[in-house]
Amino acid sequence: MRVVVVGTSGAGKTTMAKSIAAALDLPSIELDRLNWASNWQDLSKTNPDEFAQKVREAISADAWVSDGNYAVVRDLIWRRATHLVWLDYSRAVIMYRVIKRSTTRAFDQKELWAGNKEDWRRWLRPSHPIRWAWSTWKDRRSRFENLLNGAHYSHLVVLRLRTPRDAASVVDQLKMTV
């Protein structure tokens, strides 16, 4: 089983992927960990070939759970995946989660990836997860619907979760599809 977990920033992709991976005893691939280099260097933009190579290596295994939405590697992952879990939550749920997460990270200063930490001064940038989640929520939902309704990814077993309550049974749903 190869599962990709998608959704906008703050939806809980990493948390969901780790939960699925633990329950099904599968390796977890965190795309943010592969993408972000020191000083918030975004490899998907600054060195997409390097990022794609890291992803290719990570998804070459027979089974895994991946989380993330990087368009530059979407086709690599989705074509190889067998299942897709879409955290398609309301904007209110997303904003609550992403604000809470960003605030917690700003206070605890826990390292995220490659030495990077949340910094209050970055919150006004359009790329900050809070602003990104707000500005991309509607477009991302529409884009995922279009991609998943097309023939290109018809091989995927799609679990579209509309509320966090739906997430409670996702592992059982995945087990039933095997």
* pTM for this model (two decimals): 0.92
Distance CA 19, CA 25 (A): 10
Tens of pLDDT along the chain (178 residues)?
999 999 998 899 999 999 999 999 999 999 999 999 998 899 999 999 999 999 999 999 999 999 998 999 999 999 999 999 999 999 999 999 999 989 998 899 888 888 778 888 887 788 888 998 999 999 999 999 999 999 999 999 999 999 999 988 898 888 888 6
Question: What residue segments make up the domains of the chain, in order of their start?
Answer: 2-91+140-171
- 2-91+140-171: CATH architecture: 3-Layer(aba) Sandwich (3.40)
